[in-house]
Structure 1
Amino acid sequence: MRIVYLEEERVSDFVSYCKKHRLEVDDSYLYDFDLREFEVSDENPTYLALNQQDEIIGTASLVMDDYHKRGKRARFRIFHSEIVDIQCYQQLLRAVLKHTTCLDKVFLFIPVVNKKLIEMIEGLNFYVERYAFLLVREDLEVPEVDLPECYELRTFRQGQDEENWRKVRNASFSTLKGSETPLTTEGVTKLLTDEDYLEGGMMVLFHQEKPVGVIRGADDEYDGAPIMNIGPVAILPEYQGRGLGRSLLRASLRFAKEKGYKQTILSVNGENERAQALYIQEGFKQVEAVVCYQYIL
């Protein structure tokens, strides 16, 4: 076995490997459109483990974009080996960590059912940071959206609401593990050009012209079928506890029905028990659980 840096001529082999194994790992950065746009760069340091036949038997690839680097961390796009051998993982980790000199940690999510990978990761001195849960709602009836007086929910206005979105999202998530890094205005603009963007799916809640909440519905796929992904759902801290999150959620669910989606999906941080309770009350059911492991540099 040898460990090599991913070169341009082997990107298609790497993509094929990711598609082959993405159901075994967290696939957040392994969707078809992500892999189509993948390119060898400093933002995507990637190593391959090759056997004697020069076939890929493992890989470690980091996401080191501006958002993650501002939080002084990197997320694994994929960390996986076809051979259950701690030495393979050790060599891949050692190679990819050469690109993380200015960071504080690297992290990855693993489905809790993948016991073998969890055993390997814990053997490398990764530690549990948090849990997250994936919830799905079937095509059920959606109650009316009931907003209090002086509140108005508007479709996101490109060129006007970027700063509103940024402020609400950042204030709402400032203390939530894994989401503390502030989103930039440029990051909000990128949401409008992502392949999963749905026209009208981004909404901003105003209270007497003050932006107090945001929600986004995006195109996604689950179990081979179209589904709308809801997130973020964010309310300014001083406005929480007034039922506004429920109203935002119902508005997004109604938007999904209008677009013809039979299911909606969302992810919730395991620490956010209040949000979990809200989603279950509104008809969502947990379908998956993942654990976030971190490696302190």
Structure 2
Amino acid sequence: MTEGTLQIDHISKRYGTRTVLDEVTFDVRAGELFGFVGSNGAGKTTTMRIALGVLRADSGEVRFDGRPITHETRTHIGYMPEERGLYPKMKVLEQLVYLAELHGLSANDAHRSAENWIARLGLAQRRDDEVQKLSLGNQQRVQLAAALVHDPSVLVLDEPFSGLDPLAVDVMSEVLREKASTGVPVVFSSHQLDLVERLCDRVGIIRSGQMVATGSVGDLTARAGSKLVVTAPAAPPGWTAGLPGVQVLETHGATTVLGLTSGSDDQTVLAAALATGPVTEFSRRRRSLTELFRDAVAEKPVGQGATT
């Protein structure tokens, strides 16, 4: 299967009168790491299961490289579910070989690939252990190996970093970057937003079954505005009162963190601060993905529809 883009096109899913997904649309491009974030129950797992064909959408379509997903396409997708999807009493090597053969690899190729990923993910000492006897972190590594062992053309990972120690997070991150560098589109969900911000090329935020923001982290945070950090040791409480378009977000001693609405003038703020005495800090700070996510959950506008 050639390199291509995974497209989620106006997917909707309902259970009775409850709408789980409402016209969800985004794409994951070849060679891209796409972070899919949202609160518990927002629709991330349902979207991924529809992409895999585990669930059927009520409307909309999933495509790869411009063509509808078929059974043949699905054999080239690597999927890592949030719940453990392994056979607990099978040994690690035995299980990975079995799964690789299910995806069409020959016995020799399956063994070669299984051994490669066992070594790469630090499981060599556990290769002959039953999965149920592994720690949760090592089970997570085996789960990733199971998603990679057949050399997939697309990776769909549901909470792959859950339960991993910092070293394992680094290994997982390196593997995902490596797969993306070969042209594989990689989409993963995570509640570790600092990791998503550091790792991903683009991000999609879903709330209550609807996509509320899509774009690069830099683009989304830039359009969502920035904070102004002002340290004025002699400024009295309420010194920003009356300044147009200025909202006090936080105060820490002499430091005030301000939010500015579109069109507000930071120079007016500076003049007001200087009028109180010396100013030892005056800087803009771009909002983080975590703050952007909190706004999305709180149903504040976060900058919809970027496609960069």
In the superposition, the TM-score normalised over structure 2's length comes to 0.29
**Which structure would you say has the larger Rg?**
2
More strand by percentage: 1
